[in-house]
Amino acid sequence: MPGEPLPIDPDFDATDAGQKREISGTHGAVLAVIAAGGALGALSRYGLTLVWPAPAGGFPWAIFVINVVGSFLLGVLMVVITEIRPAHPLVRPFLGVGILGGFTTFSTYANDIRALLNPDTVVTAAAYLIGTLTAALTATACALILTRYAARSIRTETI
């Protein structure tokens, strides 16, 4: 009906008692695994930035690699748990949203670009801006293709 607000999640009917019970029973577990995974991912990222710090005004290689590798791993994960092998309902929030969400850091990427927007480092900022987006999207696409190919190859060998 025109003018009526759309539901927040079209797959969820808040008037259905069964669906309300289901979401209330898993909500806490989902938040817990996201928090635990996020802590692990963020600690991993922090450790890598300590080992590989960015020089002042230089290209932030650690954050670049973290975001590209994280994007690749997220692509692999999504194919594995949605197309190859069904996973426990908490796997995706724990690994995808939690660990890989905490590991990758597009907010630090944005802050790094802002910090590099000086006359003497503007070329580095532009290279980092374009390079990270291009590499992260390419890594995700490659992960999807390679994971699907590997899954087909494994299935073919077992037949």
Q: Tens digit of pLDDT for each residue in 129-142?
A: 999 999 999 999 99
What pLDDT is recorded for position 93? 95
What pLDDT is recorded for position 11? 55
Model confidence, pTM: 0.82
In this prediction, residues 22-45 reach a mean pLDDT of 88
Region of 57 (left: φ > 0; alpha: ψ -120 to 50; beta: rest) is left
Confidence of residue 20 (pLDDT cuts 50, 70, 90): low
- Mean per-residue pLDDT over the chain, rounded: 90
- Is the model's pLDDT at 59 over the cut of 60? yes
In this prediction, residues 33-56 reach a mean pLDDT of 96
What pLDDT is recorded for position 15? 75
What pLDDT is recorded for position 35? 97
